[in-house]
Amino acid sequence: MKHAMLWLFFTAATCTTVLAQNIYYTLDASLTLNGELGGEALKLQTRQLGIKLDYETAYMIIRFPVSSLESGVDSLDLLLRKSTTEVVFDGKLSLEYIKTEDHPPLKFTSEGWLTIGSSKTLITGTGELLHIDDASKIACMLGMTAQLNFKDLKLPIPLPGLEGGFEAVIMQAVLKKDKN
């Protein structure tokens, strides 16, 4: 089911980007946090995910405001909207560079610092870069997942009944390099 969910996010993600040499800025990537609340599945999502990706070094910075997360649970959404905290991931993919020409699926790991308020934790994740044929501007879809835990992140569980562990899923369209 996890792979089916990843594919759904791959096909649904869109982006708006600005090119500055070999660094691309995504302003409309997607993030989903999958967890449990009171023993029931919980999905939080935001489309206010900003990603800065250097194609030459495969280095990325991801950021979003906690207040942009939506769960569909009124009490949790109210709590989230009041937050002034920004979440930032600053890290590197295990790829040498971001390949935008035709390629088979490329699996990678990611490692970097996740900063949430005053908490800063080294995290790792996994991902895949899938080439897309015949797309006008999009070369690939990049998907990443990481298993996270409030305790490991040194954060209190913000709501009674919320489980400590959750999965973060990020989807980003990767544009073709400008040939000029």
pTM: 0.82
Is pLDDT of 157 > 50?
A: yes
Is pLDDT of 176 > 80?
A: no
Domains of the chain as residue ranges with CATH: 2-175 (2.40.128.110)
pLDDT range class, residue 115, cuts 50, 70, 90: very high
Q: Answer for the pair 146, 167: CB distance below 8 angstroms, yes or no.
A: yes
Residue 33: count other Cβ atoms within 10 Å of its Cβ: 16
Would you give the DSSP letter of residue 162? B
pLDDT tens digits along 74-106: 988 999 999 999 999 999 999 999 888 889 999
pLDDT tens digits along 98-109: 888 889 999 999
